[in-house]
Amino acid sequence: MNYHQYFPIDVVNGPGTRATLFVSGCEHQCRGCYNQSTWNPDSGHLFDEAMLEQVIKDLNDTRIVRRGLSLSGGDPLHPGNLDVILTLVKRVRQECRGKDIWLWTGYRLDELSPAQQAVIAHVDVLVDGKFEQSLADPSLVFRGSSNQVIHYLTDKR
């Protein structure tokens, strides 16, 4: 898996202070997408073992407490990203006690494949659906268009 940007400290993408990873790879081609440079799965930089360790380390940093991890893109549930994202969310669950995981995807919750559902099993909040330009609303929080839904999958909110 490749990624475009990693913000070890972020207060925009999700609630509270977080670490945020924007991955490469998206097949949805939403009209009006402001992240088209992420569509190519081979763009950006390799998310290697050192990067994974860095994310875990940042989430466990007691000097700057992060509430959790945000995964966006691109699409973290792009088929080519699933193996690495599954490893990442499992590691966060096992090694970063109390941290929440938010994930943004262009797929809808009700159309996820078994492999995508396996990832979601370790996610607290899923923001789903393509960006629909005709339904775009800048007043929405944590989503770009009103068709997208914030699903709270656990009691963390």
Give the interface with ligand SF4 as residue ranges (CB under 6 A). 26, 28-30, 33, 35, 38, 73-75, 106, 130-131
Give me the least distance between CB of 148 and ligand SF4, in Å please.
Answer: 10
Q: How far is CA 72 from the centre of its chain?
A: 3
Q: Report the first-to-last Cα separation within the chain, whole angstroms.
A: 28
Distances (CA, A) of 119 to 84, 92, 147: 10, 12, 22
Give me the least distance between CB of 73 and ligand SF4, in Å please.
Answer: 6
What three-state secondary structure class fits 60? coil
Choice between 58 and 72, CB closer to ligand SF4:
72
Choice between 28 and 93, CB closer to ligand SF4:
28
Give me the least distance between CB of 35 and ligand SF4, in Å please.
Answer: 4
Choice between 54 and 145, CB closer to ligand SF4:
145
Give me the least distance between CB of 144 and ligand SF4, in Å please.
Answer: 7
Judging by beta carbons within 10 Å of its beta carbon (0-12, 13-18, 19+), is residue 94 exposed, middle or buried?
exposed
